[in-house]
Amino acid sequence: MTPLLLLLAGAALLWGLVHLLRVAAIGAAYKAKALCSGLFLSGRTVESLRTDVSDDSYRILRLFRVSVDRHRRTVTGSFFGLRARTAVYRPGLGATLAIGTRPDALEPKALPASAARPDWEHRPLEPVQRAVDRTFSEPDPLKLRRTRAVVVLRDGRILAERYAPGFGEAMPLPGWSMGKSVLNALVGISVKEGRLSLEQKNLLPEWSAPGDARSAITLEDLLRMRSGLEFAEVYKDPLSDVTRMLFASRSAALFAAAKPLRAPPGTLWAYQSGTSNILSRIVRLAAEKAGEDPLLFPRRALFDPLGMRAVPEPDAAGDFVFSSFLYASARDWARFGQLYAQDGVWEGRRLLPEGWVRFSTTPTPQSPEGRYGAHWWLRLSREFGGETEAAGRIPPDAFHAMGHEGQVLSVLPSLKLVAVRLGMSIRVDAWDHAAFLAEVVDALG
């Protein structure tokens, strides 16, 4: 072999090793984070969490070792001892990956317990309960649904609900991208309290340099996913922007905010989790400027008034990762949906600005077929049955919060209906939410 070929072979080997180690760090972080949240926030067992980190496309994670320290409430993952990543649990804050800092350096702050909440009124409706029961069946062994919790409300009363064995009405579960719609509410409340405005520009200090075109991005542009920032929302690539942001970055918001523009602000729609984390940081900065503890703002402004025991999880920089890391029970997700079904009013008190729900569910012109509003989906995705005959039986005023692995919250205002489904559908098309909603609508007559 010539010296040149030896050099090329060595370079290729080095590149492959570096690539492998980068991927290994992502895998170790993912497994540590999932187990830490599941064990200490949801209160599940290691055995019950194996599916979450070892089945279907997660089989590769079986190669990653984990160690659990129940006294310190940490989980450390590694690739045969290499590229170790540790997630730290703090009461009220959930799990945080200790990236760019030592695990013991994370502020040991524990938030106080959430306010007590009243019980839901039950008005069981047998046809709806049968539809809910069917969501726990497994019609296709190659595409397991793994439904874990379903709640259906009408006019604020439970028509039907059910939980898989080992899960219950009080267990917080991951909503993944459903957290983006919760962020919509917190932005709305910030607008209502005069901290932010939809037309506001110069949103981040990182965009304030002279000539930085990103300073022209408005708050509404971010809400409608038309910032123009370059960001790859690709989940099959372990080194894409979204996976590195969530599992390899100290600050999710600053990772996304550092991206350059690919199009002028307001002209191009692109679904980007990075956009949500930028918004989350903006909400934090506005709370701090108003003299409020940003970690307590979601509770004071939204969760406590609803009696919603939700736990958004922060990154190592202290920003809530609303794009992906928010845990709540199915009943609590239903409470949140009920707020929007009631036009932002709860028990006679207006929480969201007048007209905010209408604004949030007005189609973003730049989105394909007007599918997206302002951090709410206006049509179900194709994978969730959005292009099937069943989707045509869903009232056109329906809107949805949708998350990874089949998490869906649907609000149907004309029917005064809210439906929540939480599960572990690792195959993206395993859960047909349109079929379920259509069956519930039919059952109502």
Residue 356 located in a structural domain: yes
Tens-place pLDDT, residues 60-103: 999 999 999 999 999 999 998 888 999 999 999 999 999 999 88
Give the span between the Cα atoms of 196 and 319, in whole angstroms. Answer: 17
Domain boundary among 269, 298, 323: 323
Asked whether residue 93 falls in the same domain as residue 14, the answer is yes
Tens-place pLDDT, residues 202-226: 999 999 999 999 999 999 999 999 9
Residue 261 located in a structural domain: yes
What's the confidence (pLDDT) of residue 238? 85
Q: Angle, to 10 degrees, between the axis of helix 179-192 and the axis of helix 273-289?
A: 30
Structure tokens at 210: 């002279």
Three-point CA angle 71, 72, 74, nearest 5°:
115
Is there a contact between 239 and 89 (Cβ–Cβ < 8 Å)?
Answer: no
What's the confidence (pLDDT) of residue 105? 84
Asked whether residue 413 falls in the same domain as residue 397, the answer is yes
Tens-place pLDDT, residues 268-320: 999 999 999 999 999 999 999 999 999 999 999 999 999 999 999 999 999 99
What's the confidence (pLDDT) of residue 114? 66
In which domain, by residue range, is 155 found?
Answer: 120-171+329-445
What's the confidence (pLDDT) of residue 17? 44
How far is residue 34 CA from its own chain's centroid? 13
Structure tokens at 306: 């609803």
**R_g over Cα of the chain:** 22
**Is the pLDDT reported for residue 21 higher than 80?**
no
Helix, strand or coil, per DSSP, at residue 79: strand
Q: Name the percent of the chain lying above pLDDT 90.
A: 87
> Phi and psi for 415 in degrees, rounded to 5?
-105, 0
Sign of the Cα pseudo-torsion (209, 212, 287, 403, in order): negative
Residue 110 located in a structural domain: no
Give the span between the Cα atoms of 284 and 190, in whole angstroms. Answer: 10
> Phi and psi for 68 in degrees, rounded to 5?
-110, 125
Asked whether residue 89 falls in the same domain as residue 46, the answer is yes
Residue 428 located in a structural domain: yes
Is there a contact between 331 and 422 (Cβ–Cβ < 8 Å)?
Answer: no
**Is the pLDDT reported for residue 155 higher than 90?**
yes
Count of the separate structural domains present in the chain: 3
Give the span between the Cα atoms of 25 and 86, in whole angstroms. Answer: 11
Q: Which helix (H) or strand (E) holds 312?
A: strand 311-312
Asked whether residue 252 falls in the same domain as residue 202, the answer is yes
Q: Angle, to 10 degrees, between the axis of helix 330-341 and the axis of helix 179-192?
A: 50
**Is the pLDDT reported for residue 10 higher than 90?**
no
Could you list the beta-strand ranges (E) of 155-274. 157-163, 173-174
Residue 200 located in a structural domain: yes
Tens-place pLDDT, residues 339-395: 999 999 999 999 999 999 999 999 999 999 999 999 999 999 999 999 999 999 999
**Is the pLDDT reported for residue 168 higher than 90?**
yes
Asked whether residue 182 falls in the same domain as residue 316, the answer is yes
Asked whether residue 271 falls in the same domain as residue 311, the answer is yes
**Is the pLDDT reported for residue 161 higher than 50?**
yes
Asked whether residue 226 falls in the same domain as residue 242, the answer is yes
- In single-letter form, the type of residue at position 13 comes to L
Is there a contact between 339 and 303 (Cβ–Cβ < 8 Å)?
Answer: no
Asked whether residue 285 falls in the same domain as residue 354, the answer is no
- How would you classify residue 283: left for phi > 0, otherwise alpha for psi between -120 and 50, otherwise beta? alpha
Asked whether residue 296 falls in the same domain as residue 191, the answer is yes
**Is the pLDDT reported for residue 433 higher than 80?**
yes
**Is the pLDDT reported for residue 128 higher than 80?**
yes
